[in-house]
Amino acid sequence: MKKNECPYKVHLFICVKTRDDDRTSCGDGDSLQLKAALKNEIKSRGWKPHVRISDTGCLGLCEKGPNVMIYPQKIWYSSVTPDDIPEILNTLESVIFV
C-alpha cells in the first residue's frame, strides 16, 4: 500500500441512491442530471484538475435529497434542483481559488 496526497482540492459527492420500495431517496430527484450538468460546467470552466465529481450511494438524509456534499470543506446541500447549480458552482469557485 502507498499513501498519497489527494490530487484534488475539492471532491463533490452527489447521491444517486434509489430504493425498491416507497421510501424517498435522492435518486427520485434529478441527481443524475445534476451530476451531468455539474461535470459539464466544471469541464468547460477548466476546473477538472481541481475538482472531482463522484456519484455515491446513501449519504443518510434520503428524505432531504438529492444531496450534494463538498469535501473536505464540510459543505452540504440538500433538496438540490438544477436551479441550484449556479450557487454550487459559486461555492466551488470560492473554495478552489482561495
Q: Give pLDDT tens digits along the chain (98 positions).
A: 999 999 999 999 999 998 888 888 888 878 999 999 999 999 999 999 999 999 998 888 888 889 999 999 999 999 999 999 999 999 999 999 87
What is the C-alpha separation between 7 and 60, in angstroms, rounded? Answer: 27
Is pTM beyond 0.75? Reply is yes
The whole-number pLDDT of residue 80 equals: 95
Q: Where are the domains of the chain?
A: 10-86
What is the C-alpha separation between 28 and 71, in angstroms, rounded? Answer: 23
Evaluated on CA atoms 65, 68, 72, 75, the torsion sign reads negative
Q: What are phi and psi of 69, to 5 degrees?
A: -120, 130
The whole-number pLDDT of residue 19 equals: 83
CATH 3.90.1580.10 fits 10-86, yes or no: no
